[in-house]
Amino acid sequence: MITNLKSNKYLAFALLICLSFVFVAGCGGSNSTSTPSEEEPQETIELTFAHHWPAKHKVETVMAQGWAKAIEEATDGRIKIVTYPGETLIPAAENYEGVVQGVADIGLSVYGYTRGRFPLIETFLLPGINAKSSEVLSHAAMEVINKFNPKEIQDTKHLWTFGSGPMDIISNKPIRKLEDLKGMMLGVPGGLGAVTLESLGGSPVSQPMSEWYESLQKGVMQGGVVAVNAMEGFRLGEVTGDYITLTPFLPQQLFYCVMNLEKWNSLPPDLQQTIIDVTEEFYPGSIPGVWDQENAGAVKRLSEKKP
């Protein structure tokens, strides 16, 4: 009887020890063998980018797509920008307000299409200001915008501004003296160009660039005041441009690229900073420089085609 009691005590003690080891091993095992849960993949933010240039124009292929690709790579795919060229999302003249209202997240168009909407920036568009190149006008405008942050664009996030370079007259008849302009129906992109042309005796036709081809083809316009790269970019060389009259005194154009302010404010701070950094790096070599190259290249190629 005593032996059985002792045996039972030893058995109970041994069982208690075993259970203790199991408990300790179980606790220790959960700490050493468990793997931390993998982080949830971050959601991709898709942004729409609307403008009016044709799909094959370098504004689309170099500027818009190039910048979008640089943003996507720099954010490791957290931001994807989808471009909508050729007014497929917003008409050119309504682009800025369309971005303000959230129709598109990002918009690229012409300040002069909404005359009076940008009074400070429009000082660059006065007649007689001959910046000689897109690069000069672009950097001058950017410096003023960055310094003064005009109230007129504070309802969006300004990304960049660039200039057209010289605006010349393209036509199928020569313009050798001021009298040749009298009554001549010439397209102008908008802004102060119309007022200036009218004061010189011409008859301005204010239209977005996307409408010029048809108007020239139908004879509604006899030419236009434009950066000469439009001869190729908008195929205007097919319907006009036997003559290019250099007019450095006519108003040049400025173009904006802006983002919807609410969309911008919704982005995480690190993504905002990445967009700023990428834009500052991308801008100098891929925006005003491209425009100047296109203007010079268009003149050269067109002169080679003409007999």
For 48-101, the pLDDT digits (tens) are 999 999 999 999 999 999 999 999 999 999 999 999 999 999 999 999 999 999
Per-residue pLDDT averaged across 37-51, rounded? 82
Reported as a pLDDT band with limits 50, 70 and 90, residue 41 is low
Predicted pLDDT of residue 190 = 76
Predicted pLDDT of residue 236 = 92
Tokens of 279: 């834009």
Res 31 pLDDT > 70: no
Tokens of 305: 């085609």
Rounded distance between C-alpha atoms, residue 281 and residue 27, angstroms: 54
For 239-248, the pLDDT digits (tens) are 998 898 989 8
Predicted pLDDT of residue 306 = 59
* Residue bearing tokens 């004061």: 199
Higher-pLDDT residue of 297 and 101 is 101
Q: Which percentage of the chain shows pLDDT scores above 90?
A: 64
Reported as a pLDDT band with limits 50, 70 and 90, residue 11 is very low
In the chain the domains, ranked by start, together with CATH numbers, are 45-111+134-163+254-300 (3.40.190.170), 168-251 (3.40.190.10)
Predicted pLDDT of residue 36 = 39
Reported as a pLDDT band with limits 50, 70 and 90, residue 16 is very low
Reported as a pLDDT band with limits 50, 70 and 90, residue 23 is very low
Rounded distance between C-alpha atoms, residue 199 and residue 219, angstroms: 22
Beta-ladder partners of 206 = 188
Q: Which percentage of the chain shows pLDDT scores above 70?
A: 86
Do 213 and 231 touch, CB atoms closer than 8 A?
A: no
Rounded distance between C-alpha atoms, residue 143 and residue 149, angstroms: 10
Reported as a pLDDT band with limits 50, 70 and 90, residue 307 is low
**pTM of the entire structure?**
0.83
For 186-235, the pLDDT digits (tens) are 999 877 888 899 999 999 999 888 899 999 999 999 999 999 889 888 99
Instruction: Please enumerate in sequence order all residues whose Cβ is within 8 A of that of 134, keeping only pairs 6 or more positions apart, or say none.
Output: 162, 163, 164, 165, 227, 288, 289, 291, 292, 295
Predicted pLDDT of residue 156 = 99
Predicted pLDDT of residue 109 = 97
Where b means 16+ CB within 10 Å and e means fewer, 12-47 reads: eeeeeeeeeeeeeeeeeeeeeeeeeeeeeeeeebeb
Strand 45-51 versus strand 106-110 pairing type: parallel
Dihedral sign computed on CA atoms, order 274, 280, 140, 195: negative
For 114-125, the pLDDT digits (tens) are 989 999 999 999
Mean predicted lDDT score pLDDT of the chain: 86
Do 250 and 112 touch, CB atoms closer than 8 A?
A: no
Reported as a pLDDT band with limits 50, 70 and 90, residue 8 is very low
Predicted pLDDT of residue 294 = 83
Res 262 pLDDT > 50: yes
